[in-house]
Amino acid sequence: MASMYHSTRSSVKECSAKGAVLDGLAPDGGLYVTDELGSARIDLSAVVGGTYRDNARLVLKTLLDDYTDAEMEDCVEAAYASTFSTEAVTPVVKVGNDFVLELFHGPTSAFKDVALQMLPQLMSRAAAQENKRIMILAATSGDTGKAALAGFADTPGCGITVFYPHGKTSEIQRLQMVTQAGGNVAVGAVRGNFDDTQSAVKRIFGDRELAQRLDKRGIMLSSANSINIGRLAPQVVYYFDAYAQLVGNGAIAQGDMVDFCVPTGNFGDVLAGYYALRMGLPIRKLIVASNENNVLTDFLQTGVYDRNRPFHKTISPSMDILISSNLERLLYYMSDGDTALIARLMDDLATTGRYEIDGALLERIQALFCCGYATDDEAREAMKACFVKHGYVLDPHTAVAWHVSQRIPKQDGTARVVLATASPYKFCRDVCAALDLDGEGDDFSCMRVLEAASGRKAPAALCGLENAEERFCDVMEAKDMAAYVEAKCGDLL
């Protein structure tokens, strides 16, 4: 029988995995979880020797078990067969005495591709079953929007409209979005800042008359948020696959423990590691690395989660987050499924910006999770030191994790894997500055400087932006966004 999913805040209403993928967020504001997590273990000897796609099928079928074998095979082929620039999809490389798991070989050179290449496939099949077509709506400050565009481009039954604040993204980020190919994609610049754009998107989601008009046409609006179980599940795969690579190249023996250190923002990436552990992967510690927005470091040390603190703009912008939404799922599992507790904690967070867990629960979490954070200066020093010592270039997000990992005492014989979440070429200017390279000129000349210094080529998709055709030049007021979306629904495949 298929596993049922329900909210972290109540278990009354249940749905299948497909239903959870379509919904994204549960109706009561909680996140979808299943109590079957861990009841089916992944056989390690099946993973070792498997290709990335073999392992993806195995892990995803276990987590999202109402997709048929044929459906999942199609999803995996569409997501990973030709979209990543390396056959390994997420290769592990040795750097000094540690390992780096490179998650950035997808179409947008960041780790969100791994999930956002798969989510549209899962959604498209779930929507077809319900006879619906989906318009994905997103506000972006730069990175996630592009990864979502690349994932949903030309996916049957789906369209995507992305809004970004006009003049507020980097030139590379803007080019990545406005050059996106696909017959079902649209990109609009909005006058105002990111908050204005995001608030307007939330208003569109709340517009009932619009929803009714679209419903008559068989269309529903949806989002590609990182709380969607269809984004979390694909991330569990690379923990198993990384382990398989380590066994495959003799770095560890099957059954040995491994530590993973994860640059963390919304807590999705590191939570996927916890899912892998529950499904049988021998993980000793999961290390949560934060930048100066170190709300998680404090939480893991004291049990108090408090977002009432200054917000820092850092050189690792994808980790500039004060509410780590996916932490809610960890609290659910660690409290043995205490939905009443989770509902109360999240209510505290919404009303006061703060909650506190008891000592027993904190100890259970601490038995598994270590933590630490890096300031911008420490991240820059980590980039420099890693390059000088090992000739390996870290991006600013990965540098945060590298800094933290090097300060946590290593257990003898336990291999340590640092997750690399972005290509350094995506953040060329900051990387060149940290390595004392000449970062003058535009982003493209900066890329060439880094190529020459590192001996490693920049991703073709990033270099190609210099001469790519710009497809979208619409600039609008926030009040005109809803009409723009409604018009774009006409282009749905």
Ligand X SMILES: *Cc1c(COP(=O)(O)O)cnc(C)c1O
Show which residues are catalytic. Answer: 112
x/- track of binding to ligand X for residues 271-310 (CB under 6 A): ----------------------------------------
Q: Which of helix, strand or coil describes residue 207?
A: coil
φ, ψ dihedrals at 372, nearest 5°: 180, 170
Nearer to ligand X by Cβ, of 184 and 293: the residue is 293
With residue 235 as reference, give the H or E element that holds it.
helix 229-248
Does residue number 117 form part of the binding site for ligand X (CB under 6 A)? Answer: no
x/- track of binding to ligand X for residues 339-378 (CB under 6 A): ----------------------------------------
Report the nearest approach of ligand X to the CB of residue 10 (Å): 25
Does residue number 228 form part of the binding site for ligand X (CB under 6 A)? Answer: no
DSSP 441-485: S-HHHHHHHHHHHH--PPPHHHHGGGGPPP----EE-GGGHHHHH
Q: Report CA dihedral (160, 236, 54, 116) to the nearest 10 degrees.
A: 10
Does residue number 143 form part of the binding site for ligand X (CB under 6 A)? Answer: yes
- In the range 188-227, which residues lie near ligand X by CB under 6 A? 226
Report the nearest approach of ligand X to the CB of residue 4 (Å): 25
Nearer to ligand X by Cβ, of 66 and 143: the residue is 143
Provide the β-strand partners of residue 306: 354
Contacts of 356 (CB under 8 A, 6+ apart): 303, 304, 305
Binding ligand X by CB under 6 A: which of 112, 285, 429, 488? Answer: 112
Does residue number 422 form part of the binding site for ligand X (CB under 6 A)? Answer: yes
Report the nearest approach of ligand X to the CB of residue 256 (Å): 26
- In the range 245-274, which residues lie near ligand X by CB under 6 A? 263-269
Q: How far is CA 386 from the centre of its chain?
A: 25
Q: How many residues does the chain have?
A: 493
DSSP 302-354: HSEEE--SPPPP-S-GGG--S--TTHHHHHHHHTTS-HHHHHHHHHHHHHHSE
Report the nearest approach of ligand X to the CB of residue 414 (Å): 23
Sign of the CA dihedral with 166 first, then 171, 173, and 179 last: positive
Does residue number 151 form part of the binding site for ligand X (CB under 6 A)? Answer: no
Does residue number 110 form part of the binding site for ligand X (CB under 6 A)? Answer: yes
φ, ψ dihedrals at 134, nearest 5°: -125, 135
Report the nearest approach of ligand X to the CB of residue 319 (Å): 5
Contacts of 150 (CB under 8 A, 6+ apart): 106, 107, 108, 113, 116, 117, 180
Report the nearest approach of ligand X to the CB of residue 177 (Å): 15
Nearer to ligand X by Cβ, of 269 and 292: the residue is 269
In whole angstroms, give the CA distance from residue 277 to residue 394: 26
Which token pair is 103?
A: 């998650």
Task: Give the start-end residues of each E strand in 87-222.
Answer: 92-95, 98-102, 133-139, 158-165, 185-190, 219-222
Q: How many residues bind ligand X (CB under 6 A)?
A: 17
Nearer to ligand X by Cβ, of 252 and 262: the residue is 262
Nearer to ligand X by Cβ, of 264 and 335: the residue is 264
Does residue number 105 form part of the binding site for ligand X (CB under 6 A)? Answer: no
x/- track of binding to ligand X for residues 397-416 (CB under 6 A): x-------------------
Report the nearest approach of ligand X to the CB of residue 420 (Å): 9
Nearer to ligand X by Cβ, of 401 and 446: the residue is 401
With residue 122 as reference, give the H or E element that holds it.
helix 119-129
Binding ligand X by CB under 6 A: which of 421, 435, 443, 486? Answer: 421
In the chain, the N- to C-terminal Cα span, in Å, equals 33
Residue 427 exposed, middle or buried by CB count within 10 Å (0-12, 13-18, 19+):
buried
Nearer to ligand X by Cβ, of 111 and 305: the residue is 111
Report the nearest approach of ligand X to the CB of residue 247 (Å): 26
Nearer to ligand X by Cβ, of 66 and 241: the residue is 241
**Contacting positions for ligand X (CB under 6 A):** 110-112, 143, 226, 263-269, 318-319, 397, 421-422
